[in-house]
């Protein structure tokens, strides 16, 4: 079986490699706007599922144009995932700009927030899906701390405008749950789904 990661995220790729999971990447583009009345849980589940669908469709389309791939398309399994930060029930995605990043970090400073990742594994006519939640507790950050961190640019392309594995680690007091989930992919959940599909 060929595992395709339907994501351009280098963090997700690094996590899979570190766990010794073989895969190829296939970036997909979907509409990531939140729908009216959609909960954070429903949102990440839906986007993960849509990403795995888009990845599988792209893989099958590519196989039809490449005879060497055509005989292998039934062996493709696609992994889709989406991660958000949630505070007070509000979804914090990637910041639009530095002002938005400052707003997000200000909301997270000195309190708990949750990181949710929806995971969808699709192949062989089946979809297996899960969601992981990790609680993260950040220390209170001064205005200078927030300004310094935002200026670093580290959180520019990350949900909640921060990266737990980088400079922001100095402000993380503790977490409850999967660390890899906060980085962007709950690897133990992925392993469980792969086992259920008899891929590993």
Query: Which is catalytic among the residues 14, 22, 29, 82?
Result: 82
Question: Three-state DSSP class for 51?
Answer: helix
Give bridge partners of residue 84 from the DSSP assignment: 116
- Buried b or exposed e, range 18-44, using 16+ CB within 10 angstroms: eeebebebbebeeeeebeeeeebeebb
Please state, in angstroms and rounded to a whole number, the distance separating the CA atoms of residues 89 and 39.
8
Q: Encoding tokens for residue 105?
A: 């970090």
Question: Three-state DSSP class for 161?
Answer: helix
100 is an active site residue: no
Query: Which residues are catalytic, by number?
Result: 82
């Amino acid at each position: 079986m060929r595992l395709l990661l339907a994501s351009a995220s280098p963090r997700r790729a690094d996590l899979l490699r570190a766990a010794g999971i073989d895969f190829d990447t296939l970036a997909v583009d979907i509409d990531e706007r939140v729908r009216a009345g959609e909960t954070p849980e429903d949102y990440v589940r839906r986007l993960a599922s849509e990403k795995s669908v888009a990845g599988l469709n792209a893989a099958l389309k590519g196989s039809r144009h490449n005879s060497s791939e055509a005989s292998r398309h039934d062996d493709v399994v696609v992994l889709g995932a989406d991660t958000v930060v949630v505070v007070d029930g509000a979804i914090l995605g990637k910041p639009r700009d530095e002002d938005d990043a400052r707003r997000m970090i200000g909301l997270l400073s000195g309190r708990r927030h949750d990181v949710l990742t929806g995971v969808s594994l699709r192949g062989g006519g089946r979809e297996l899906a899960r969601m992981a939640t990790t609680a993260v507790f950040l220390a209170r950050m001064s205005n200078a701390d927030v300004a310094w961190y935002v200026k670093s640019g580290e959180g520019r392309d990350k949900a909640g405008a921060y990266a737990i594995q980088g400079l922001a680690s100095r402000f993380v007091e503790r977490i409850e749950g999967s660390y890899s989930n906060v980085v962007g992919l709950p690897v133990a959940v992925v392993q469980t789904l792969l086992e259920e599909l008899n891929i590993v």
